[in-house]
Amino acid sequence: MTGTPPTLHMIFGKIASGKSTLCVKLGTEAGTVVISEDDWLNALFADDMASIKDYGRCARKLRGVVGPHVVSLLQAGVSVVLDFQANTVDARNWMRGIFEKAGASHILHVLDVPDDVCLERLRMRNAEGGHAFAVTEDQFHQILRHVVLPSADEQFNVVLHG
């Protein structure tokens, strides 16, 4: 591990904006682990997720287990890249609870990628079939309605990625 204090890295970005790619890059830092929501949801709940509502139910269960684990990692001096969406105020509040309880630093990485670029990447990702979940364009737009940009009032340490 390094001499730097442990950091919780959180990611804001639309579907196919490059969140997981950024997480892999961030995870190469010494003393850092990546925890991927998609990997865990696929392994634990793939057969139970047929709708956006199913995702919400399964994600809440996963957060209940992952949150305390991430607190423990941070308290042990390990930085964590949380490859979970930080696209809603509720999701960011859950993440805030983690780094505050751990007494760790944090960075909220914000990916600013236009919808048309995300949709093109989504089409390619779906065609390749390598992602755990295929999201339709209709689902992309449904989910996009729930995305809320972080505000200055939330007081996160933000790094913007264009």
Q: What is the pLDDT of residue 1?
A: 47
Structure tokens at 29: 């830092």
Domain ranges for the chain: 7-161
Q: What letter does residue 7 receive in the DSSP assignment? A: E
56, burial (CB in 10 Å: exposed 0-12, middle 13-18, buried 19+): exposed
Counted residue by residue, the chain has a size of: 162
Q: Quick one: 7-161 is in which CATH superfamily?
A: P-loop containing nucleotide triphosphate hydrolases (3.40.50.300)
Rounded to the nearest 10 degrees, the angle between the axes of helix 52-75 and helix 89-102 is: 20
Percent of the chain at pLDDT > 90 equals 75
Which residue type occupies 76? A
Tens of pLDDT, residue by residue over 53-101, are: 898 899 999 999 999 999 999 999 999 999 999 999 999 999 999 999 9
> From the CB of residue 69, how many other CB atoms can be counted at a distance below 10 Å?
12
